[in-house]
Amino acid sequence: MANTANDTNFFTDVCKNFDDAAQFTGHPEGLLSQIKACNSVYRFQFPIRRGNGFEVIDAWRVEHSHHMSPTKGGIRYSEMVNEDEVMALAALMTYKCAIVNVPFGGAKGGIKITPKNYTTGELENITRRYTTELIKKNFIGPGIDVPAPDYGSGEREMSWIADTYMTMNPGQLDALGCVTGKPIALHGIRGRKEATGRGVAYAIRECVRVTEDMQKIGLTAGLGDKRVIVQGLGNVGYHSAKFLTEFGATIVGLCEYEGAIYNANGLNVDEVFAHRKLTGSILGFPGATEFKNSMEGLEQPCDILVPAALENQITVENIKNIKAKIIAEGANGPCTPEAEDIFTQMGGIIIPDMYCNAGGVTVSYFEWLKNLSHVAFGRMEKRYAENSNANLINTLESLTGQSIPSEHRLMIIKGASELELVNSGLEDTMIHSYHEIRETLLSKPGIQTLRTAAFVGSIDKIAVSYMNLGIWP
Ligand code: GLU
């Protein structure tokens, strides 16, 4: 994969996208500057004991916008993390939350390490110390700033964060809402792990559902005949590929660090995943053409490309070689603004990151609500719904003298589980937001891309919040 972050101006790119959209909003310049700026940038270093000595770790937490509280965003564990990247990702979180109507400001964290070079004990030390630093500076709390997983972190790290926070805030009733993406056993929520990938699949499904938009780019509506290449087999890439397959698409290409594989007849994502686990590489997967240079994988024939790894993967260098008609940004910032301009001229559609990968934070919001309410979704009403549906069926059966076959009966009376409610909330969010963005695109002459339309929608909502807060006249 192309190297990133340190040699780019990711925050500048986000601001450029913001500026392109701001001209369509009509808000005063000062308000736009306030929305765009990163409110608080906390850069810190702390030592950990390693071997016979110490190592100093670089870390960040950036709160981009406080127009809503708490602020929200993941913590990235990566050697490539830098301040510019964390600022850009924090800003994207603000716009992302706004576009999917999740009532948070944006934030992001970064710890500059390569997790695989550290033991579990060292990672725990680093995570707990990072959390302690956030607590000391009031950069974490269920009503302040709520971290979550991101590239290089997951449920395990979130448990350490929750435990550290609870230890240092004994008796705080809502303490578990200080972080999301926790394991179920620690009051996480079902469906959070798959949420970003599931959301990406919903976003693509919604985009290709619109017949007139598909006709314009020479595709038919629906996922049934769509060939997809996914970059990244991490949490987001794997689940995007899995749900896209479930929705009827064919995964023809997969790209990872070590190379890429392609099979026009389709790849079984779980088999590739298992092969990689066994051999340490996706290369050598039976029946697939392979490319040692992973970036070549992106340029193979397909209808939809899902970059779900890191930022800055699709640039002026390779955009002209991309065969896909639709790029769905599973990762944050995979396409540079210059590449997007060229792709738009080529007649392609980019489903922008701030909407496309918003499934994760949407379900994080549900988890936070669950933690604040101290009750799992569906707990109160599941059985009640089942009983009342059964009463209805029984009444109908006795009035009509007909009986409903048992498999239909079970399907009709069933009350919703937590997972079903989460997935339903996520699906509704992704469908609704797609059409909101598309409406903006159609209603404002001059807007060329879904990204600009999404930014316009977000900026408008954030501006309204500032005005409602009385911060802006
Ligand atoms: N890290 C994820 C993102 O970039 C999730 C953030 C969250 O759940 O707060 O959207």
Q: What is the pLDDT of residue 468?
A: 83
List the beta strands (DSSP E) in 176-257. 227-231, 250-256
Determine phi and psi for 254, rounding to 5 degrees.
-135, 135
pLDDT, average across residues 358-373: 98
- Regarding whether 54 and 2 lie in a shared domain, the answer is no
Average pLDDT over all residues of the chain: 96
57 and 7 part of one domain? no
CB-based contact 450:352 (threshold 8 Å) = yes
**Whether residue 2 has pLDDT greater than 60:** no
277 is known to lie in a ligand binding site: no
Confirm or deny that 364 is annotated as ligand binding. Answer: yes
Beta strands 227-231 and 250-256: pairing type? parallel
Q: pLDDT value at position 471?
A: 67
Residue 388: pLDDT band (50, 70, 90) is very high
> Do residues 112 and 70 both lie within one domain?
yes
Q: Quick check: 429 and 101 in contact, CB under 8 A?
A: yes
Q: Are residues 309 and 229 in the same domain?
A: yes
Pocket lining: 364 vs ligand 1, CB cutoff 6 Å: yes
On the question of pLDDT at 12 being above 80, the answer is yes
Token duo for residue 188: 């996480």
| Predicted pLDDT at 469 | 78
Which of the listed residues 361, 369, 370, 433 should we mutate to test ligand 1's pocket, taking the one with most ligand atoms within 8 A of CB? 361
Active site residues: 108
The burial class, CB within 10 Å (0-12 / 13-18 / 19+), for 391 is exposed
Q: Global pTM?
A: 0.95
Q: Respond yes or no on whether the N-terminal peptide bond of residue 301 is cis (omega within 30° of 0).
A: no
pLDDT at 93 (0 to 100): 98
For residue 73, which atom of ligand 1 is closest to its CA? 9
Pick from 185, 213, 236: which residue ends a domain?
185
Any domain includes 70: yes
The 10s digit of each residue's pLDDT in 425-450 is: 999 999 999 999 999 999 999 999 99
Residue 227 has φ and ψ, to the nearest 5°, of -100, 130
CA distance 52 to 75: 28
Q: Per residue in 259-306, pLDDT tens?
A: 999 999 999 999 999 999 999 999 999 999 999 999 999 999 999 999
User: What pLDDT score was predicted for residue 3?
Assistant: 41
Are residue 284 and residue 260 in the same domain, yes or no? yes
The number of C-alpha atoms within 13 Å of 301 and in the hemisphere containing its C-beta is: 5
Choose the final residue of a domain: 170, 185, 200: 185
Range of the domain at 448: 1-37+189-378+416-473
- The mean pLDDT value for 390-395 works out to 96
Closest ligand 1 atom to residue 181 Cα is 8
Asked if residue 404 belongs to a domain, the reply is no
- CB of 150 within 6 A of ligand 1: the answer is yes
For residues 144 and 175, membership in a common domain is answered with yes
Is 180's C-beta closer than 6 angstroms to any atom of ligand 1? yes
Q: Which residue has the tokens 């802006």?
A: 472
| Residue 235, marked binder | yes
CA of 72 to the centre of ligand 1 (A): 7
Same domain, 133 and 246: no
Q: For residues 204 and 201, what is the distance between their CA atoms, to the nearest angstrom?
A: 5
CA angle 36, 428, 67 (to 5 degrees): 25
Q: How many domains does the chain have?
A: 2
Reported confidence tier of residue 9, pLDDT bands at 50, 70, 90 = confident
Asked whether residue 17 is domain-assigned, the answer is: yes
